[in-house]
Amino acid sequence: MIRIDLSREEIPSYWYNIVSDLPDLPPPIHPATKKPLGPRDFYPIFTKECVDQEFSKERYIKIPDELRELYIRIGRPTPLYRAKRLEKYLKTPAKIYYKREDVTPTGSHKLNTAIVQAFCAAREGLEYLTTETGAGQWGSALSYATAMMGIKAIVFMVRISYLQKPYRKLVMKLYGADIFPSPSDKTEIGKKYLEKDPNHPGSLGIAISEAIDMAKNSDKARYSLGSVLNHVLLHQTIIGQEVKKQFELIGEKPDILIGCFGGGSNFSGFTFPFIEEILKGKEKYDVIAVEPTAAPSMTNGEYRYDFGDSAGITPLIKMFTLGHDFIPPPIHAGGLRYHGAAPTVSLLKSKGIVRSVTYAQEETFEAGRIFAMTEGIIPAPETTYAVKAAMDEALKARENREEKVIAFNFSGHGLLDLKGYEDVLKIS
C-alpha cells in the first residue's frame, strides 16, 4: 500500500495536551522579578482562549465543530505515504512512511494552528492579528486563516526573506495581509535596529519583538505565534493522532519518528501523540529532531531561561537556546533559524526521550533532489532535513539488515523555494 487515507469523520475530535503529562515543566517567568507568570500576564498579548490553552492542565482538549469543518477545508485528514521508490533507491530493508502536510492550501503544516488562532481572534471580536514570518510559510498560513475569518493579518517579515522571497509576499498580499520588512519603521524597536544599520537583514527574534510591540499598543489586535508555545504545539497534535490511526489501519508500528526542527511545532505535532505512549511506559520509539548545523539550538544550545525574542520584551522561558541575540547565518531553510526550542520539547530532550541530529544544507538539498526524483514531490528546504535523516536511518538499517519502520513528517513542499535548490545544488 503506497497511500493510507482516513475518512473525514476520522479527523481527531480533541488535541493532546502533553503539558498534562509533564508536571515538572518549568513555567515562564518575569525577567526582573523571576516570579512565575500566569494567564493574566499574557491576556494583553495573545487571544484569551489561546492563553487559557497555554496554561491548561487538561489532557485532551475538545476541538470545536466549526474548527473540524475548517480542518476539512484545508485538506485534512492528510494522507500517509509509503516511500517505496525511495526504499528501492536506497536498497534498504527498512520501510519508510511520510505524512503529507504539504497538501494544504499554503503548502505546510502551519495552517493547523493558524486557523485555530484566527478563529479564536474573530470569536473574541478582534480585528487584527500581528505576527512575524521568516521564510514566509507562517505569514502565508496566518494570512489565509485571517481571510477565512474575515479579519486581517499584519506580518513583519524578516527583511532578507522579504527581498529573497517575493512570491511568499505576494501570497500574503493576495490573502489581504499588510506586510512590513523587519526591522521596520513601524515600531520603536524596529527603528532602533534601522538606526544602527539601514540594511539590517533582520531575524525572527527582531520580527517577533516588533509584532508583539504593535499588538500591545492596540486593543483590537493580538499577537499570534506560529511555533514554540504550548498552545501552538497543542493544535498540531492532530497530525500525530492521524498518523497513529493510519498505522493502526495497516497493522504496522513505527520504530523511528523524525521531524525537522525550527521552534518545534511540526516535530511536536507529529510525535507528541506517540510520546504520550512513551511517557506512560507503554511503547518505545526512537524520536529524532533534525536541525541545521547553522542553528543547532537543541544539539549545541544550553538548557536555561532565555528571552523568546531578540529585544528581550518577552517573558523568560526555559529552553535549549543559542542565546536570544544569536543571528543565524542566512541558510535557505528560514523556518529553522530560530535561536531557541519549544520548552516542552526541551524538557523531553533533557530527559533523554527525544534526541537531535544536525545536517548542513548542501547534504539536505541533495536529499531533497533524490526525494523529488524518487517520490515525485519537491520538499520545502526545512523538510529536506527530515528527508535526509530518514534516508540515513534507512541506510543504517541496510547496514544492520534490520527491517525498521521509519516515519517522518513531510512538513511542506518547496515549490515557492526553488531558489534554494538553484543556489545550493547549482542547477539552473
The residue type found at 289 is: A
Residue 36 bridge partners (DSSP) = 29
Nearest to 226 by CA among 116, 358, 127: 116
Residue of the chain from 187, 227, 241, 271 that contacts ligand PLP (CB under 6 A): 227
One of 76, 110, 231, 404 touching ligand PLP (CB under 6 A): 110
Contact 361, 381 (CB under 8 A): yes
Q: What share of the chain is helix, strand, coil (3-state, %, to 5)?
A: 45, 20, 35
Establish if 145 lies at the interface with ligand PLP (CB under 6 A): no
> Which stretch, 2-10, 147-155, 262-270, 362-370, contacts ligand PLP (CB under 6 A)?
262-270
Out of 335, 340, 368, 420, the only residue in the binding site for ligand PLP (CB under 6 A) is 335
In angstroms, what is the minimal distance from the CB of 412 to ligand PLP? 3
Q: How far is the CB of 250 from ligand PLP (least distance, A)?
A: 26
CB of 137 to ligand PLP, least distance (A): 3
User: 379 has which bridge partners?
Assistant: 413
CA distances from 20 to 16, 144, 228 (A): 9, 31, 17
Residue 117 interacts with ligand PLP (CB under 6 A): yes or no: no
AA letter at 142: L
Residue nearest to ligand PLP (CB): 412
380 binds ligand PLP (CB under 6 A): yes
**What is the x/- site pattern for ligand PLP, positions 383-412, by CB under 6 A?**
x---------------------------xx
| Alpha helices by DSSP H, 79-203 | 84-90, 111-123, 137-149, 159-164, 166-174, 188-196
Closest CA relative to residue 405, chosen from 257, 239, 248: 257
Instruction: Tell me the pairing of strands 256-260 and 286-292.
Output: parallel
Q: Which three cell numbers stand for residue 221?
A: 489586535
What minimum distance in Å lies between the beta carbon of 262 and ligand PLP? 3
DSSP H helices in 285-360 = 297-300, 343-350
> Does 260 participate in binding ligand PLP (rule CB under 6 A)?
yes
Determine, following the binding rule CB under 6 A, whether residue 175 of this chain makes contact with ligand PLP. no
**H-helix segments, 13-101:** 39-42, 48-55, 65-73, 84-90
Question: Residues 314, 412: contact at Cβ < 8 Å?
Answer: no
Stretch that binds ligand PLP, among 50-58, 75-83, 199-207, 375-383 (CB under 6 A): 375-383
Report whether 275 contacts 334 (CB < 8 A). no
Q: Which stretch binds ligand PLP (CB under 6 A): 32-40, 64-72, 377-385, 396-404?
A: 377-385
Task: Kindly state whether residue 262 participates in binding ligand PLP, applying the rule CB under 6 A.
Answer: yes
Backbone angles phi, psi at 173, to 5 degrees: -65, -40
> Whats the size of the chain, residue-wise?
428
- Which of residues 161 and 187 has its CB atom nearest to ligand PLP in the complex? 161
Of residues 213 and 382, the one with the C-beta less far from ligand PLP = 382
Strand partners, 158: 182
Nearer Cβ to ligand PLP, position 227 or 310? 227
Q: Please report whether residue 183 would count as binding ligand PLP according to CB under 6 A.
A: no
161 counts as binding ligand PLP under rule CB under 6 A: no
Structural contact between residues 221 and 154, judged by C-beta atoms closer than 8 angstroms:
yes
Q: Tell me: does residue 340 bind ligand PLP (CB under 6 A).
A: no
Are 290 and 386 spatial neighbours (Cβ–Cβ below 8 Å)? yes
| Residue 104 sits in the site that holds ligand PLP (CB under 6 A) | no
Min CB(320)–ligand PLP separation in Å: 13
Closest by alpha carbon to 254, among 65, 364, 407? 407
The verdict on 321 binding ligand PLP (CB under 6 A) reads no
Q: Does 265 bind ligand PLP (CB under 6 A)?
A: yes
Binding positions for ligand PLP, 62-101, rule CB under 6 A:
none
The residue whose grid cell reads 541575540 is: 325
With CB under 6 A, what is the number of residues at the site for ligand PLP?
20
317 binds ligand PLP per the rule CB under 6 A: no
Establish if 266 lies at the interface with ligand PLP (CB under 6 A).
yes
Residue ranges in contact with ligand PLP by CB under 6 A: 108, 110, 137-138, 227, 260-267, 335-336, 380, 382-383, 411-412
